[in-house]
Amino acid sequence: MLLVTKPKFGYYKRLLNFHNVLVFKCQMLSNAFATGWNKNDALVSVSTGLLERMNKDELRAVLAHEIGHVANGDMVTLSLIQGVVNAFVMFFARVVGDFIDRNIFGRQDGEAPGLAYFAITIVLDIVFGILASAIVMWFSRYREYRADEAGAQLAGKEAMISALLRLQAESEMPDQMPKEMKAFAIAEGKEQGFSLAALFQTHPSIEQRVAALRQLNLP
């Protein structure tokens, strides 16, 4: 269970002059996330493990990364994209299901949809849903690169790289973040057992993120 508390050290909040910072209790892993429906009401939260393990420059880079998410409006954008693709999934599944039911199973005009229509629609909801998830996860990975760049611009490229490398070992540990918050975290832990989440990652690998940062023309 994650417990949200007030931060004990005021300078953590003053690092980037961003005051909506809370600390959640998670000693085993270093992580952070941003949430909120708009830029003015956003919240950045960091784990107690992150505060204990990272130095001041690395912590500044992590906060800058999360503030990058806030500045880019990523929390709302990801939710909107998820809603739009879900609507397309439902629409196209029913259009294709109706087409197949009419042209293959012989349903005539004026007749109610048969069992074939409903069976096909359910299958297509699943298939199109998997494809839609791939699109959403692609955007999720893309916004991580943008937030890393924002972190590098605000806190320095080397500080951002150092923070990511410190998270690298922990990325192989079982993930303790709630599933609904994983897309908003700075790092994604390893899933236990097989799941579709292993095929549709919300975050690029640390190696990919570090390589992208090294290519930036930043100090």
Residues carrying an active site annotation: 66
Burial 66-105 (b: 16+ CB within 10 A, else e): bbbbbbbbbbeebeebbeebbeebeeebbebbeebbeeee
Among the listed residues 126, 182, 154, the one whose alpha carbon sits nearest the alpha carbon of residue 62? 154
Is residue 53 within 8 A of residue 166, CB to CB? The reply is yes
- Smallest CA-to-CA distance from 140 within 175, 194, 181 is with 181
The residues facing 32 across adjacent strands are: 46
